[in-house]
A and B are shown apart, each in its own frame.
Chain A
Amino acid sequence: MVMRISENVKFNTVVNNLFKTQSSYNELAEKIASLKEINKPSDDPIGMSKVLNLRESAAAVEQYTRNMDACESWLTITESKLTAAGDLLVEAQEIAVSQSTATSSAEARSSEAETVQQLIDEMLSLANSTYDGRYIFSGTKTGETPFSSSERSAAEIGEATAAGGNGSFDGTVSSGGVYAGSVNTTYVVKIVTDDEVLANTTYRVSSDGGKTWSDPPSGDLVDGVPVTLGDGIELTFTEGVTDNLSEDDIFYVQAFAADSSNSSYYNGNGEELSVNIGEGVPFAYSISGEAVFTDKGDGEVEIFKVLNDLKDALEADDQSAIASCIDNLEAASDQISKNISKCGTRMNRLEIAQTNMADMELDLTELTSKIEDADVTELITKFAMKEVVLEASYSVASSIGDLTILDFL
């Protein structure tokens, strides 16, 4: 088909082709400058979406790695403290063995009693170790000094404490009763109604520090009459004069287990702190003082009691009493060893998780790079080719007006 070529057609064709070539030339230049295939979302929308998701995963991996490093530090410190504690117990055992024989004397025993006191003091210091501002053996009560030097020979119920931001209530709240639980707990009361007199006030009770609540709410408050929250803990409210209880007011009571046959030195609880080391993978990194040093919950030996018994027996120069400490000290030593190996197991698991996480980080980086990064060699080759095409286009363009019929007329 023969087409009429007008002047405009000639020039338009050349100009359009120039623009097309220049446009792809510029695109390549942009990619080389940024070294990225994707310079805006429209360059590769699906790729962009994948890259964003990969970045999110990479950030999570980074955080999990940080978490694992923190856990590793915590466990390392825990292990070293426990090892030191184990050494102290070995020393105590040696004293017990040597002083339970007939060859020892009252003076020797008295002097060893002082040594044992020093062992107790050091053990106390180890048990009250901190890391990054938190007590490592206090369970989840990380702000609370876990062990006191004095014995608690009967169960104790602490003061009823109001949360700092409670509404203005000018009645009183006091705790009472006899704690019947076997481990230390925290009881919490949450007020449900708002601005009602005691008779109309309803509340919920939590026995696990405020995680889960009783349902339905209770409504049995009477001015001056104690209500039992559970495990023998009583709380007594008195009526406010001008201000009633507000909604979400919080009152909590710490309860400590002990009785005359198994006293307690422990103020923390038996929970373990945990943190996520992977998606949906919680990792318990702390070991509670309850399991390590007491006979409550998971523990079996009240270590401080055992040491104090030894000291008392030495001071009393009671050979048979000293001898009976030996088995207890053995059990205490076993308990420490058990927890040291627990640390070890956890650290092993952590190490595996850390390696896996490092691998994942590499994979993510690689995947992201594959989608996002430009292949420089390929780009530069294409760029050079485009330059040649552009040169040819310019050369053709410059000769377009040269040959017309006017040259021949």
Chain B
Amino acid sequence: MSGIDALNIAKDSLLAHQTAINLTGTNIANANTAGYSRQRAVFSTLVPSVEISGIERIYDQFLGVQINEQANDLGDSEARKDALERIEMIFDETDGGGVNELLSEFWNAWEDLSLSPSGQAERQALVSVSESLSSAFRSYSDQLSSAQDDANAEIPLLVDQVNDYASQIADINARILQAGTENTDEPGLNSLKDERATLLSGLAEIVDFNSITDSDDSVSVFLSNGMPLVEGGETWELDVVSENHASNPSFYDVVFKDNPDVVINSSITKGKLAASLEIRDTAIEGYMGSLDELATTLVEKVNAQHRQGYDMDQNLGEDFFVFDTGTEEAGYMQVNADIIADINKIAASETVNGDGENAVTMNTIKDELTMSEGNSTISSYYSSLVARIGQDVADASDSVDHHTNLMTQLTNKKESISGVSIDEEMMNLIRYQTGYNASARLFTAAEELANTLMDMVS
């Protein structure tokens, strides 16, 4: 055992402590870097001294998976909430002026007409409010269509994002594999892994997936149906196709680029992409269906009653409302142009003698249980449609709150494991500095010993 050994011991110790201090510096520098996991130098004995056997990245993998799941739920809820809130604005009846008010005015106009069946003012008022009512139906329908188109337009953008994330993740997988074989510096490796974790979270907001970390540290990503998006350094790109939907040829479906005939919409169950698909295909379709049913029933009932009445020329009434191009949907509802042109054609009477009683009967349609298989009136059907939309928004909103809270908890948990605490790093700095100072003193002492030895022989 010579003094030279002590020099080597001191040297190794100095180097190790230097590395540790540098690492502390890296941690402090990155205290505010998003997604940064703190790194820890692992001191291990290399007889007779010490070495840094590795730089550990402090990161809980399972927490990462949980966070991605929440990100997925949160992305889904937020996308739904945004889309539904816009739809809620269409049906905002809180200050009146919507279909509910117009329907009441429509029924009342018939009653006023019955008290003065040949009155031009009453006839004109009826035509005006009928036109406003049809216009409201058309407008709501158009706005719903427009919201559907917006949801549709999101889909190719989201698919592009998925492909983007996937290719970046595959890229990092490749570099990690390469770095593993070449044994390059570990901090660089750790920051790549942090980057990949962030990318996976970003991807999780858009689609739901399962991820598997292989033994060689590459992460593979699979859709819920088991089909791979990323495997090692390889990706399978997603794509969109259109012309598949009977209701609207411009609607997109999601497919794999290398298999465009198989539509995989049903394999994407949660996340922003799933939300856009669901809003477009289920939620809005449902609302439009209800609005259409309302319009067609109203038109059918009014027309049937109108055809039984007599107008001011003793003719039987024609259709009061018509559908443009014959399409029986709310978006095509119009007042019969013949009636707008000649208000004498309003069939207010039930006999040829101009009695106005048909208008009275017309008004009673509002009390008939014509909707929901004989369970609700036209007005109450509309009220429950508005309530349904409100409830959907409230549910989405609650879901956002719930998942935000969970996300916050999980994020805090992650932070407490992986986050940098300045207090702790400062203490570490003191610790390593002490170690470094001690090693330096050891070096000095060992040098003195060696010099003493030299002096002895010279």
Contacts and interface: CB of A to CB of B under 8 A. Distances in A.
A297 interface: no
A316 interface: no
Contacts of B114: 275
A41 B350 contact: no
B113 to A, nearest CB: 11
Contacts of A208: 351
A188 B357 CA distance: 17
A177 interface: no
Contact of A12 (B315, B353, B408, B421): B408
B383 A5 contact: no
B101 A55 contact: yes
Interface string B345-377: 100001111111100100110110000000000
Contacts of A282: 360
B243 interface: no
Interface string B85-110: 10011011110100011011101100
A59 interface: yes
A133 B420 contact: no
A67 B356 CA distance: 13
Nearest to B358: A211
Contact of A42 (B350, B384, B391, B426): B391
Interface residues of B, number: 76
B77 to A, nearest CB: 14
A40 B89 CA distance: 8
Interface string B409-447: 001100111111111101100100000000000000000
B415 A9 contact: yes
Given A5-B416, A140-B351, A41 B408 contact: no
A80 to B, nearest CB: 19
A59 to B, nearest CB: 3
Given A66-B112, A210-B352, A48 B416 contact: no
B296 interface: no
Nearest to A6: B419
A348 B217 CA distance: 92
A376 interface: no
A179 interface: no
Contacts of A250: 310, 314-316, 352
Most buried by B among A39, A49, A141, A274: A49
B383 A166 contact: no
Given A49-B386, A56-B379, A142-B354, A7 B412 contact: no
Contacts of A52: 93, 100, 379, 382-383, 386
Contacts, number: 223
Interface string A367-407: 00000000000000000000000000000000000001110
A3 B416 contact: yes
B45 interface: no
Interface size of A as a range: 35 or more
A53 interface: yes
A296 B421 CA distance: 105
Interface string A202-238: 0000001111000000000000000000000000000
Given A41-B386, A49-B387, A282-B360, A16 B408 contact: yes
A134 interface: yes
Contacts of A141: 353-355
A59 B98 CA distance: 14
B431 to A, nearest CB: 13
Given A4-B416, A7-B421, A144 B104 contact: no
Most buried by B among A52, A141, A165: A52
Interface in A4-58: 4-9, 12-13, 16, 36, 38-46, 48-50, 52-53, 55-56
Contact of A6 (B315, B353, B360, B416): B416
B350 A210 contact: yes
Given A8-B415, A275-B360, A55 B104 contact: yes
A280 to B, nearest CB: 6
A354 interface: no
B152 interface: no
B32 interface: yes
A78 interface: no
Contacts of A3: 416
B388 interface: yes
A31 to B, nearest CB: 12
A166 B315 contact: yes
Nearest to A372: B94
B31 interface: yes
B393 interface: yes
B107 A63 contact: yes
B394 A405 contact: no
A23 to B, nearest CB: 10
A164 B314 contact: yes
A122 interface: no
Given A12-B411, A141-B354, A210-B351, A7 B93 contact: no
Interface in A147-187: 161, 163-166, 186
B32 A7 contact: yes
Contacts of B363: 63, 276
A252 interface: yes
Interface in A272-314: 273-276, 279-280, 282
A211 B88 contact: no
A409 B426 contact: yes
B421 A4 contact: yes
Contacts of B379: 52-53, 56
A100 interface: no
Given A6-B421, A52-B382, A405-B423, A41 B390 contact: yes
Most buried by A among B92, B119, B314, B382: B314
B139 interface: no
B386 A404 contact: no
A41 B111 CA distance: 31
Contacts of B364: 276, 280
Contacts of A39: 94
B115 A45 contact: no
A40 B92 contact: yes
B167 interface: no
Interface of B: 31-32, 85, 88-89, 91-94, 96, 100-101, 103-105, 107-108, 111-112, 114-119, 310-316, 345, 350-357, 360, 363-364, 366-367, 379-380, 382-384, 386-391, 393-394, 397, 408, 411-412, 415-424, 426-427, 430
9 contacts: A5-B416, A8-B419, A13-B412, A52-B93, A60-B104, A60-B108, A67-B111, A67-B115, A209-B353
Across chains A and B, which 4 residue pairs bring their CB atoms closest together, nearest first? A6-B419, A164-B313, A209-B351, A41-B390
Given A56-B100, A186-B352, A409-B430, 7 more contacts: A12-B408, A42-B390, A52-B379, A56-B366, A56-B383, A60-B107, A274-B357
